[in-house]
Structure 1
Amino acid sequence: MKKDLFLYKGLLVLVCASSMLLSCKKNNNDSQAPAQSNLVIVNVAPKAGPLDITLAGKKLADKLAYGSYSGQPGAPYLSVSANAASSLKVATGSGTVVIDDKLKLEANKRYSLIVYDTLAKTGTSKLLYTLLPDDITPPAKGKSNIRFFHLSPNTPAVHIDIIKDKDSLRLTSTPAVYLTSATAVAEAARFSTINSGTYVIKVKITDSGNKLKTILVIPNVVLADQKIFTISLKGLSGLTDANTLGIHLIQHK
């Protein structure tokens, strides 16, 4: 009898322990954080002014200035909830919504959300954006990873030459045209590997005589060792104010 009672008590303890374990496991599953993505937000929309960017009802950027991006160089990414259809709203300082769309963000992925174009050019109250997947696997020692986008609305197709000492490299095998919805995003998002160092960037167009003409020279562009960069042509040709033609640089890592 005592032996049966002892076995009964033992089984009761085992059942209780199992119930508590299952309960804890369920609670842990219930309390798991939602899957996350990482997003860098970029404002290269001339004449649009500072922008407010909201994703899934959460404001990610408040008055993000033209020519700037979220975070800081080397750490620009914001953690956001992964979602197959996250509501994106971009508004000007006056509250005018210039982008209203949905983003598909996969878990554990990194993206660049680039807002560009200009309100004056479109004649409407809308801007453009592109969502680019970012592979920030660091390159080998002595190397940097770069990619280039043409985001100047009124500038024709360009060639981009980068020069270091006596070395010259053309980033564009064919003239780069203004980024549109027809651009193959996956291909455009790829990074190329070059030697790290301090470069001069030259932007060139083909003139009426079918010769290359340099329209912009940017000296002392540091592409640091084992870092990753996006280089964009921003602004408007023909202006001399803050919206003039220039180069925008994002350091992803």
Structure 2
Amino acid sequence: MKKDINFIGTVASVMLLSAVLLSGCEDTDYPAAQPATTPSTNQARFLFVNAAPGAPALNFFVENTQAGQSLGFGQASAYIPSQVGNIQLRAKAASGQIGGVIGSGDILFRAGATNQNNFAAAANTNYTVFVTDTLNRPRPTTTNGTNPGGPQFLTVTDNLATPAAGNAHVRFFHLAPDAPAVSVRLVPTAPASVTATPAFLNRAYRVTSVGSGTAVTNYANFTPVSAATYTVQVYTGATVPTSATVTPALTVPNVTLETGKIYTMYARGLRRNNSLGAGVVIHN
């Protein structure tokens, strides 16, 4: 009988184990998938601007993801999300080749004059990437330099904090290759209650900050201004003239800055062929 009892116990154990294994093979009752309601903080975002006079329409890429398609001179892309860390920024001609000293090559981000390191993208950070310079900008003479000349990237960080009620945010960059340093004044034209005339002084070509340490002035920072319609006056030199008899080098009327909006203004074109103008990027 002992042998029979052991046999019966063994059979019962096998049956119990089989039941456990079978129950483990049943489909798990997972919760229904829900879409994300907030943006990931583990990414960067890039907006591209074609500000290179004479350059063809360009396609922009972050790694191998296209960020802007066939952007002509003065045009900007929307923001595109990207992974963080070391990433490649590239621009290709939308058709044919870029030409000039680059020829059939691409425009690549270079972290320094003597290397081709990728861009270091920080998490939860927004960037604007300009293509600047002319097709025939000479190759720099830097020893062991990797810059081939021609159009190149200029990258700035964007603080997209929401402007206060009744305000817009604006900044200015000088991206006209053959123009001297300029100063810019915004003259309000409407409504009549807006009287302040914000100014951006002594901006040199492709310079994004001046000074160092605690005394640095970062031109990538946005300035709060009253939401209004302005005439943009661009003067050559380090200051805005106080005399109304001084004629601006460039005047752009009827520039409306809306409440809550964030803008980048930039000088563009070439002085030598009278093509100087101003571009505006809307960030939100």
Structure 1 segment 102-251 matched on structure 2, within 5 A: 102-122=118-138, 125-165=149-189, 167-172=195-200, 174-180=201-207, 187-206=218-237, 213-240=247-274, 244-251=275-282
**2:279 corresponds to which letter in structure 1?**
H
Tell me if structure 1 keeps the 8 A contact 2:177–2:205: yes
Q: Quick one: distance in 1 between partners of 2:64 and 2:176?
A: 30
**1:215 corresponds to which letter in structure 2?**
A
Deviation for aligned residue 1:182 = 7.7
Between stretches 188-197 and 210-219, larger displacement belongs to: 210-219
Q: Which has the higher strand share?
A: 1
Tell me if structure 1 keeps the 8 A contact 2:198–2:225: no
1:119 aligned counterpart, secondary structure: coil
Q: 1:182 to 1:94 in 2, by over 3 A?
A: farther
| Aligned residue number for residue 44 of structure 1 | 51
Deviation for aligned residue 1:201 = 0.2
Q: 1:181 to 1:200 in 2, by over 3 A?
A: closer
Q: Quick one: distance in 2 between partners of 1:148 and 1:221?
A: 14
| Aligned residue number for residue 100 of structure 1 | 108
Q: Name the structure, 1 or 2, with higher relative contact order (CA <8 Å, separation 6+).
A: 1
2:218 aligned counterpart, secondary structure: helix
1:94 aligned counterpart, secondary structure: coil
Deviation for aligned residue 1:61 = 2.4
Tell me if structure 1 keeps the 8 A contact 2:41–2:123: no
Q: Quick one: distance in 1 between partners of 2:164 and 2:208?
A: 33
Deviation for aligned residue 1:245 = 0.7
**1:116 corresponds to which letter in structure 2?**
T
Structure 2's unaligned 5+ residue stretches are 1-8, 31-39, 98-103, 110-117, 140-147
**2:255 corresponds to which letter in structure 1?**
V
Q: Which has the higher helix share?
A: 1
Structure 1 segment 9-20 matched on structure 2, within 5 A: none
The normalised TM-score by structure 2 is: 0.68
1:231 aligned counterpart, secondary structure: strand
Deviation for aligned residue 1:170 = 4.1
Q: Quick one: distance in 2 between partners of 1:225 and 1:218?
A: 20
Of 73, 77, 80, 1:78 maps to 80
Tell me if structure 1 keeps the 8 A contact 2:85–2:120: yes
Q: 1:110 to 1:154 in 2, by over 3 A?
A: same
Tell me if structure 1 keeps the 8 A contact 2:50–2:73: yes
Structure number with larger C-alpha Rg: 2
Deviation for aligned residue 1:237 = 0.8
Deviation for aligned residue 1:121 = 3.7
Deviation for aligned residue 1:58 = 2.5
Tell me if structure 2 keeps the 8 A contact 1:155–1:236: yes
> What percent identity do the matched residue pairs reach?
24
Q: Quick one: distance in 2 between partners of 1:186 and 1:205?
A: 20
Alignment coverage as a number of residue pairs:
227
The normalised TM-score by structure 1 is: 0.76
